[in-house]
Structure 1
Amino acid sequence: MFQLRFRYVFMFLLGAYSFLNTLLIETFDYYHVGADKWIIFLLFLAVTAAIWEGNRLWDNWLSKREIKPFWLRIIYNFSGSLLITALAALLLGLPTASYALSKDWQQWVLPMKLLVMFCFRINLFLNTIHVIFLYMQQLELSHQQLETYKRISSQAQLQSLRNQVNPHFLFNNLSVLTALIGQDTHASIEFVKQFSNVYRYILKSDEKELIHLREEIGFIHSYLYLLKTRFDSGLSIDINISEGCLSAYILPVSLQMLVENAVKHNIVSKSKPLHIEILCLDNESITIRNNLQKKKVDDDHSTRLGLTNIAKRYDFLGHQGVSIQHTEQSFSVTIPLIHLKAEP
């Protein structure tokens, strides 16, 4: 609020209004301050400008510190403004009293009391408006963050769905199913079952912001079943998750996106098998790691988008900590587990 473009106009209007209000309630008839009214008018304008500018500089300093939570920022704002107001009253009031009144300082007491009262009223008014302004700004920022999160979440869900319904995925799995039907009826039935589990989970995952890791792992088993059937010995999977991890929460389809990225961007063959590990041993995070044997892909942007969306969704939920480790031999992504307090 203190950064208004035409703030000097508002300073003048506020000071002039305050002086006019003082005249209308006949303050000078009850309190004989002994100074000309034009001097008092100029003093009103000066202290109003000093309080405003002092608050502006103080607010600029606080803004650079990004103080959180919001209520702490308000306390700092108001505490600093009290000191600024007191200094403005003294630094402007005492020289004015010395110039406009007699040299007897005892006659300054009443005018200084009235000036201090006026200054703190101006400061209270300005800070009340400023708090409302900060609150509206914070509310707008919250709305923007919510919309951003919704967009990111939708992009992540859409990206996951696209990965599964693209022609290559369907063609590859239908080719595997065709081969299984002629070889093993039981295996083909199980393949169709796992195939339907994958689509059912993805289509329903947009209904939840978080999901139990136990459910996500169940989905991953179905997804990995399809991959393992397709690549056979070209793909090896190692899932090592402690029981304590399974009760935590995770973003839906986040593990699938990371596994899909590993398969999409690495060579998977019997001569060069891809090893994927899904590890959770500390109850705080889960890691997806694979050996690195890159292949050229048509669209590397989808990988960056997927990882970026996962990180941003965690940031929005207040769980920073998505980390990526890239060496010449391996690539791993670690995402935090979310532990929700049980309802009483």
Structure 2
Amino acid sequence: MNKQEQPTWVGGPEPVNDKWLQIIGVPMAVLPFVFFYLNEYGYDGRLFAQTFLAGVVSTGLAWQLLRWWVLKVRTWYIAREEFRQRLLVTFLGYSVFIIPMQILETWSIRFFDLTGLMQEPEFPRVYLMHIGMALLFAFLVGAIYESMYYLQKNREAILEAETLKKATLQSQYDSLKNQVNPHFLFNSLNSLSSLITEDKKQAGEFLDELASVYRYLLQEGDRELTLLRSEVDFIRSYRFLIQTRFGSAISFAIQVDEPFLDDWLPPLTLQTLVENAIRYNIILPEKPLQLRIQTTADGQLQVINSIQRKPLRVAAMPIGLGSLTDRFQRLGLRPLVISDDGAEFRVTVPLLRK
């Protein structure tokens, strides 16, 4: 089975619900700087108010710039597997923005001092301390943003997976309902009714094979894969019912090599292909339909039928065959290979090795 592609997160950045994070985060980011200035220049109420208000304004503006950067990077790296690139670019951007902004703020704040207590900051000690504190808090808040985003996308991925799972289960259920064709059951019961009066022994065999067919439908119909061995046993029972119904009007050969019986394929694959051959071709004793199921040397399964189409306009791809093709694609299997040379209609089914 081919490895399925990992799901990705599509779409642009969604609005971030971070109002309370900003309301709480901005003052918390400012307080370490306020206490630094109080410790450096004296504990004064005016200095506290001045540095706190100036810090709230400058930090609020810086926060909006970094928030814009976070959303911008998300438009570049949307996929879940791009988590590391998104994280690296985001935090590199923080450094590029914060370092010059913090240097400028540290240098310029003394020019707006109304208390007369502040002096020119000592270089490089004060500058390095301020840059370190700013980067530490930015990285902390950035980690919170990234965690919020990751959890949000994980919830969306889980919801999408659940939706897909429900759709898959519904598809499998619909497929099973389609396989248990009421017309097939009706025709089988009519054949059984005729046999009861004509040949009770054959009627008993017919009933046993009919039970085998429906047992397999109920047991395997909701599975994704089954052994070719089980599928062949099922199709032999199905062949018995078909040949009992059509008699000499159909020729049905099964030639499957032993080494491939433990390979895998989706259940009811053979029934779908046989049913399509019967549905779209003329079946008459004087013009029997030739059906053949065989394996190839390279480990593939082929279902072949002679072409004697009914004089009806039908879709380019029969309904059952189209559903089967979609099923292989959904399971991540190699696709069916369909060929029509005018004499034979051939469907090559890739088997999954054990």
TM exceeding 0.5: yes
Is the CA contact (8 Å cut-off) linking 1:58 and 1:77 kept in structure 2? Answer: yes
1:278 aligned residue: 293
Q: CA deviation at 1:320?
A: 2.7
Give the deviation of 1:125 after TM superposition.
0.9
* Compared CA separation, residues 314 and 100, structure 1 to 2 (3 A): farther
Residues 43 and 254 of structure 1: CA distance in aligned 2, closer, same or farther (over 3 Å): farther
Equivalences, count:
324
- One-letter code aligned to 1:28: V
Q: Does 1:132 align with 2:132?
A: no
Where structure 2 has 5 or more consecutive residues not aligned to the other structure, the ranges are 1-8, 42-49, 111-119
Answer with 124-133 or 28-37: which moved more. 28-37
How far did 1:323 drift?
2.2
Counting only pairs closer than 5 Å after superposition, residues 235-254 of structure 1 correspond to structure 2 as 235-254=250-269
Whole-angstrom CA distance in 2 between matches of 1:335 and 1:94? 68
SS at match of 2:77: helix
Q: Counterparts in 2 of 1:253-292, with a 5 A limit?
A: 253-281=268-296, 285-292=300-307
1:89 aligns with 2:98: yes
Q: Distance in 2 between matches of 1:115 and 1:53?
A: 17
Deviations along 1:114-138, one digit per CA (max 9) or x if unpaired, are 2111211111111111121122122
The alpha carbon displacement at 1:255 in A equals: 1.7
Q: Post-superposition shift, 1:235?
A: 2.2
**Is this contact kept in 1: 2:229–2:261, CA < 8 A?**
yes
Q: Which residue of 1 aligns with 2:26?
A: 19
Residue aligning to 2:170: 151
Q: Which amino acid aligns with 1:217?
A: V
Paired position in structure 1 for 2:217: 202
Partner SS, residue 278 of structure 1: strand
Check if 1:4 corresponds to 2:14: yes
Deviation at 1:217, TM superposition (A): 0.6
Contact 1:324 1:331 survives alignment (8 Å): no
1:192 to 207, 210, 213: 207
Change (3 A) 1:170 1:159: closer
Q: Distance in 1 between matches of 2:94 and 2:300?
A: 50
* 2:335 counterpart (316, 322, 326): 322
Residues 174, 62 of structure 1: CA spacing in aligned structure 2 closer, same or farther, 3 A cutoff? same
Deviates more, 1:113-122 or 1:279-288: 279-288
Amino acid at match of 1:17: I
User: Which position in structure 2 is the counterpart of 1:114?
Assistant: 133
Q: Distance in 1 between matches of 2:295 and 2:304?
A: 11
The answer to whether the aligner puts 1:30 opposite 2:36 as a matched pair is: yes
Is the contact between residue 34 and residue 51 of structure 2 (CA under 8 Å) also seen in structure 1?
A: no
- Is the contact made by 2:336 and 2:350 (CA closer than 8 Å) also made in structure 1? no
RMSD, aligned CA: 3.6
- Unaligned segments of structure 1, at least 5 residues: none
Q: Is the 8 A contact 1:86 1:116 kept in 2?
A: yes
CA 1:118–1:252 in 2, change beyond 3 Å: closer, same or farther?
Answer: same
> Based on CA coordinates, which of the two structures has the bigger radius of gyration?
2
Match of 2:232 among 217, 227, 238: 217
Partner-residue secondary structure (3-state), 1:3 = coil
Using the TM superposition, name which of 138-147 and 36-45 deviates more.
36-45
- Provide, for residues 56-93 of structure 1, a one-character-per-residue CA deviation record: whole Å limited to 9, x for no partner: 23222333xx5xxx5x4433332332223222323543
Letter in 2 for 1:147: K
Find the residue that maps to 1:189 and give its secondary structure: helix
CA distance in 2, matches of 1:285, 1:47: 63
Q: Quote the Cα distance in structure 2 between the aligned partners of 1:143 and 1:153.
A: 15
8 Å CA contact 1:97–1:108 kept in 2: the answer is yes
Moved more, 307-316 or 236-245: 307-316
Take 1:278 and 1:43, find their aligned partners in 2: how far apart are those partners? 77
Q: In the TM superposition, what is the alpha-carbon distance from 1:190 to its structure 2 partner?
A: 2.6
Change (3 A) 1:271 1:258: same
Which position in structure 2 is the counterpart of 1:173?
A: 188
Report the TM-score, using the length of structure 2 for normalisation.
0.76
Query: For the structure 1 residues 327 and 48, does the alpha-carbon distance in structure 2 shift closer, same or farther, using more than 3 Å as the test?
Result: farther
Separation in structure 2 between the aligned mates of residue 43 and residue 324 of structure 1, nearest angstrom: 65
Cα separation, partners in 2 of 1:218 and 1:99, compared to 1, 3 Å? same
Distance verdict in 2 for CA 1:309–1:51, change over 3 Å:
farther
Report how far residue 307 of structure 1 moved.
Answer: 3.9
Query: What is the percentage of aligned positions where both structures have the same residue?
Result: 21
The equivalent residue for 2:113 is none
Change (3 A) 1:276 1:283: same
SS in 1 for 2:253: strand
1:245–1:284 Cα contact (<8 Å) kept? yes
Superposition deviation, residue 194 in structure 1: 1.9
Cα offset for 1:3?
3.0
